[in-house]
Chain A
Amino acid sequence: MKKLRKLGFKEDLRIISMSLKEIHKLQKWVIPVAILNAIVKAISPFVNIYMSARIIDELIYFKDINKLILLVCITIGLNLFFHILSNGLEHLLRILRIIMGNNQEMQLNEKIINMDYEHIENAEVHSLRTKIQEAEMQNGGGIHALVYYLGDFVKGLVAVFVSLFFILDMFKPTDNLGILNSYILNVGFLIFLMIGTMLNMKFKENADRRYFESFNKLIDLNRATFYYFEHILNYETGKEIRLYNQKNLILNSFGNIVNKYSKLVDDILNNSMKYGVVNGFLSSLLSCLVYVFVGIKALLGAISVGNVMKYAGSISRFMNSSSDLLIGIVGLKTNNQYLKLYLDFLNIEDKMYKGTLPVEKRDDNEYEIEFRNVSFKYPGTDKYVLKNISLKLKIGEKLAIVGMNGSGKTTFIKLLCRLYDPDEGEILLNGINIKKYNYDEYIKLFSVVFQDFKLFSFSLGQNVAASVDFDEREVEDILEKAGFGERLSTMPLGVHTPLYKDFDENGVEISGGEAQKIALARAIYRNAPIIILDEPTAALDPIAEFEVYSKFNEIVGDKTTFYISHRLSSCRFCDEIVVFHEGRIIQRGTHEELIKDVNGKYYELWNAQAQYYKEEAV
């Protein structure tokens, strides 16, 4: 992970203010409540400092019982008030932060779902997303930390001012001793304290910064550790671990990482201990000197006993709060590197041009798609994956797309659904470049079942309809069509049965083949005019596969269909076949036409499979 530059002050402020704006969007009360909480926490210790001074002085000098009772009541009353207020704010803040955190997660997710697709297959974007998560989980960095450190900052700032306020009258000219004498002495002492405190702060700042820096190195190690953690905890990996005796390899590799980790931690430890000792010594030394100083003044009669406690307490608070203030500032600064990740992610640019032309709705499903001299390479690569593809698709046609792995079939589909735009050439819908159409409406034209489709652990019906509400009857009908009818009848809650067990305990496990049928049903339910199926029977057994093939026409009706498959038998019920090889279309025609060319790729692919089904004469 590259070293994050030290950000300048202006940049620091910009990041913090942008992040605060985002937080406000996510939950508008978090910041105000956090600040209020900080102010209350800053003020409440002073109740005792001030009031106990008054009580002591009253006890020593005036001994007025009524006054004493009043003072005591005010003291314990104020304490109770602040206690209730502070706890209330603390709890309220907790709930608000939960809401803020949850909203942030959804905000990031929405960004992922809506961003240009090319970012989805970009490893850097993945990495950024992971880093944001790591920052939050392992380093406690991000917007939660911002709220936390902001609170520390405000608390420190307010407490510093309040304590200075209380100390100030220590410097009022007193009539007992020589005015000049005591004034210079006081100010001198205060300056001495401030220098001492600042020295202490400087040491602490260095220590904290070293600490944070080292923590960054830990992130890479953390990632590997986390991978092993998940790997080991996943029982599925256990099969191969045992059968291949991977134990030593895993434990050794993992052990190496742990050693590197420990070494790094030791380094951090040594630094921190040095600074810890200095810090502890300086702060306690200074505190004690305060006692001595204030004590001497009291011995000389310059201040009352009660005020001794007040000044001692206030100065002690002053030093603690300067420390809090510093922690807040250092925290805010170092946290900025994590906030930057978050802001960068939100600011990922969408460059895809999206037009506004509405897609004309046709009841006859007469949509014509044309690829004209389309070439494409994935962003950041040199190799062209599609080279000069030209193809006009007849309406209502069922087109089979075959070719070896890596020949460009799936990429072709991705361009068709406009997940990517071509680098050269254009794609046209009914004669108009698809870029000009409204993106969402264009997408609505397609029902796609990808090879790596995903089903979700909500109810079966919701999965088919891809929404919270659905038409029960229609879902049941379509599932029947897709060959899922029999399995459906075994499900206790019918189409309301949750899938898989990781969301709902009442969920049912479904096999790969069953999942494929549901994905098919989902594509049908959408009722789009163009259907794209990518390896839809790969996980199905022969019987299920045959079912799908025979009902194919029934399932897709008169929709334009693209069918990618390694199972070349499926080409038989398609109208036309297109053969991809190394990014180009090298053959096109019906099965009968292509099979005649014994030197062609299609023949080679077909034979590779069909040879095993040729029966010797029975």
Chain B
Amino acid sequence: MAENVRKNATKYSLIENIRYLIKNMWIWDKKLFAFYLLQIPLLVLGPLLTIYIPKVLIDCIQNGVGLGEFIRNIGMPILGLIIVQTIRVGSEFKISTGGYVYRIKYFGQLGEKSVDTDYENIDGASGQDRLMKAAMSVANDNSGTQAITTVSIQLLSNIIGMILYGSIIFTIHPLFIVLIILTSLINYFLGNYANKFEHRSKNNLAPVKKKLEYIRTKAGDFKASKDLRLYNMVSWFKDMYQIFIKERINLERKNISKRYLVNCVDGLLAFLRDGLAYGYLIYSVLFKNMDIGDFVLYFGAIGGFSAWISGIVNNFIELNRIHLETSDLRDYLEMEDKMNRGKGVELPKEWELPCDIELKNVYYKYPGAEDYTLKNINLHIKKGEKLAIVGVNGAGKTTLVKLICGLYTPTKGEIYINGKKSSEYNRDEYYSMFSVVFQDFYLLPVSIAENIALRMKDEIDDEKLDMVLNMSGLMDKVKSLEKGKDTLLVKSVFNDAVDLSGGEMQKLVLARALYKDAPIVILDEPTSALDPIAENELYQKYNEFTKDKTSIFISHRLASTKFCDRIVLIDNGEIVEIGDHKTLMDQNGKYRKMYDMQSHYYKDKIGGEEIA
């Protein structure tokens, strides 16, 4: 953690980050920027007039002026105060919404980056970590990107106020300035000490909070409710919760007692400061002919000066936090893409289809992993071939798919499509060659039609859409809905949306792949949620789906290999067997063993056979 802090701190400096943030404020909304600048003098004038008016009041009284002169003297400052306050209070809301709008812009940038950058940049634990850290800087009203708007105004006004008040106090006795700066420095160092302590304990506190959050969300997870009840898990969760609450309170208490100590020292220093101020000023009134009016003014100035300085101190602490968050954000936004984003080789023309895929000596290792997940993969998938990939869980099948379709880059070796290296294609154009259905699927809070075509409503080809609805078997469900294919999905977002069952969702993502109509089709376990009849229908239609296309089918259901041309068996990251069904059965290896195991109970007669 400290390591990360130092790394970020050297990549962008505090000044660089602040300049980055302020520059964007100026570029994105000049009017708002000017509005913010206007606040600064107001923030100084308000308090200044507030301590000045009593002085005028008292002077008039002490000097026994007439009513008219009194009104004349006090009229100007009062008018000034009314104007300042009116503008200031009137602007309050605009300032906070301005900060919010500003933060949302960064949020938008974060989103754009996330959907566009190389998949490998966000995949896995390290990518997620980077993303999460960046998200902290745009997540809520306290985030750095919003706080900067108010903190920067405050800092400038605090500095001006400090100078102004300082000059007032200087006329009493310059020692006061020294005294106050000294006490403020003590406050700063103490505050810093408490901050550092809190920061260090974050390492202990964050995991505890994470655990509490986990227990909180899981225990209240509606989807887990069946298991929670039927296994009497309430006490398990409650007990775990209590354990971690105690831990959290312990840690928080330590933090808080440090803070409290700082507060008390704060109070003591104020005690001393005020005592000295009173003492000196009273002495000046009694023995040096200071006016009462000035007494009141100077006393107010001394208090105000301390306020400006502690304000500056707090602002710097805030700025530091903003700086760290901004570094995380920029780290993410400025991530480079390693894949080819520029002009690439031409995509295969229509008469060059279907595609020919070849993997030569491909190795892949996940970032930070010790071992290769895939080793020595040599595979030539011919034009229009239907290939099946089988293997036990964790063998590397899905990783292979991610490599072929261009989400991952091989650690060693090359992948060729129609003879050209995958790295030579433009990344997004390369993606357009693949229709993939993964095991996990995600819906957007838009209509069924939009979820399938994944385009804006006016870009959707209705004829094509109807065709894929029929092919995937989802048409029946769509017809049963009032709004048909315009029905919204994701009930948790829209009250009038519908939720689809597991089987229906699987048909929808199949429809997606069909709609895209790409030359290479890859299906990863597309029948896990389907019943036997629906599963069989899919197998029957498979030829239809993959007519004139090169296709890869991954499944546990070895039945599926029957309609594929060749089968590849992956074990422990390597291709161990390859060939058509008959060849592999004759080989009497792992494939045969798996096939026999699965078909065992489907045989007409069971019993008597020895399964190795």
For chain B, what secondary structure do more than half of its interface residues adopt (helix, strand, loop), or is it mixed? helix
| B268 CB, nearest partner CB in chain A, Å | 7
Residues of A with C-beta under 8 A to B558: 542, 612-613
> Quick one: given A308-B58, A450-B227, are A501 and B125 in contact (CB under 8 Å)?
yes
> Quick one: given A249-B455, A292-B74, are A76 and B278 in contact (CB under 8 Å)?
yes
| B130 CB, nearest partner CB in chain A, Å | 10
Residue pair A291, B57 in contact (C-beta under 8 Å): yes
Contact code string B460-477 (vs A, CB < 8 Å = 1, else 0):
000000000000000000
CA distance A549 to B606 in the complex (A): 13
| B197 CB, nearest partner CB in chain A, Å | 15
Residue pair B493, A99 in contact (C-beta under 8 Å): no
Stretch at the interface among A159-167, A277-285, A348-356: A277-285
| 19 chain-A/chain-B pairs, Cβ below 8 angstroms | A59-B295, A106-B216, A110-B238, A227-B445, A233-B131, A235-B122, A237-B442, A246-B115, A249-B450, A262-B101, A305-B292, A405-B503, A405-B534, A419-B226, A450-B226, A511-B394, A538-B528, A542-B597, A566-B535
Residue pair A109, B493 in contact (C-beta under 8 Å): no
Residue pair A512, B240 in contact (C-beta under 8 Å): no
Contact code string A49-86 (vs B, CB < 8 Å = 1, else 0):
00010011001100101001000110111011001100
CA distance A99 to B560 in the complex (A): 56
Across the interface, name the chain A residue whose C-beta is closest to B105: A258
Residues of A with C-beta under 8 A to B82: 281, 284-285, 288
A102 at the interface (CB under 8 A from B): yes
Residues of A with C-beta under 8 A to B53: 288, 291
Question: Out of B67, B78, B264, B456, which one reaches A288, CB within 8 Å?
Answer: B78
Residues of A with C-beta under 8 A to B282: 55, 59, 68, 72
| B486 CB, nearest partner CB in chain A, Å | 15
Residue pair B407, A242 in contact (C-beta under 8 Å): yes
| A3 CB, nearest partner CB in chain B, Å | 14
A493 at the interface (CB under 8 A from B): no
Contact code string B89-116 (vs A, CB < 8 Å = 1, else 0):
1111110010011001001101110111
A395 at the interface (CB under 8 A from B): no
Across the interface, name the chain A residue whose C-beta is closest to B591: A542
A184 at the interface (CB under 8 A from B): no
Which residues of chain B in 565-598 are interfacial with respect to chain A, using CB atoms and an 8 Å cutoff? 585, 593-595, 597-598
Residue pair A251, B446 in contact (C-beta under 8 Å): no
Which residues of chain A in 269-295 are interfacial with respect to chain B, using CB atoms and an 8 Å cutoff? 269, 272-273, 276-277, 279-281, 283-285, 287-288, 291-292, 294-295
Residue pair B270, A83 in contact (C-beta under 8 Å): yes
Which residues of chain B in 299-325 are interfacial with respect to chain A, using CB atoms and an 8 Å cutoff? 299
A209 at the interface (CB under 8 A from B): no
B393 at the interface (CB under 8 A from A): yes
Residue pair A248, B455 in contact (C-beta under 8 Å): yes
Which residues of chain A in 234-258 are interfacial with respect to chain B, using CB atoms and an 8 Å cutoff? 234-255, 258
> Quick one: given A65-B286, A251-B112, A549-B601, are A235 and B128 in contact (CB under 8 Å)?
yes
Residues of A with C-beta under 8 A to B60: 295, 299
Question: Out of A285, A505, A609, which one reaches B536, CB within 8 Å?
Answer: A609
B501 at the interface (CB under 8 A from A): yes
Residues of A with C-beta under 8 A to B492: 126, 130, 223, 227
Question: Out of A68, A253, A269, A608, which one reaches B93, CB within 8 Å?
Answer: A269
CA distance A97 to B80 in the complex (A): 43
CA distance A487 to B94 in the complex (A): 60
Which residues of chain B in 163-191 are interfacial with respect to chain A, using CB atoms and an 8 Å cutoff? none
B431 at the interface (CB under 8 A from A): yes
Residue pair B222, A112 in contact (C-beta under 8 Å): yes
Question: Out of B65, B234, B444, which one reaches A250, CB within 8 Å?
Answer: B444
A368 at the interface (CB under 8 A from B): no
| A269 CB, nearest partner CB in chain B, Å | 5
Given contacts A265-B100, A269-B93, 12 further A-B contacts (CB under 8 A): A72-B275, A73-B275, A84-B264, A102-B241, A110-B219, A110-B238, A232-B111, A240-B438, A244-B516, A277-B90, A284-B85, A539-B528
Residue pair B231, A522 in contact (C-beta under 8 Å): yes
Residue pair B228, A238 in contact (C-beta under 8 Å): no
Residue pair A288, B266 in contact (C-beta under 8 Å): no
Residue pair B432, A245 in contact (C-beta under 8 Å): yes
Across the interface, name the chain B residue whose C-beta is closest to A262: B101
CA distance A309 to B593 in the complex (A): 97
A503 at the interface (CB under 8 A from B): yes
A192 at the interface (CB under 8 A from B): no
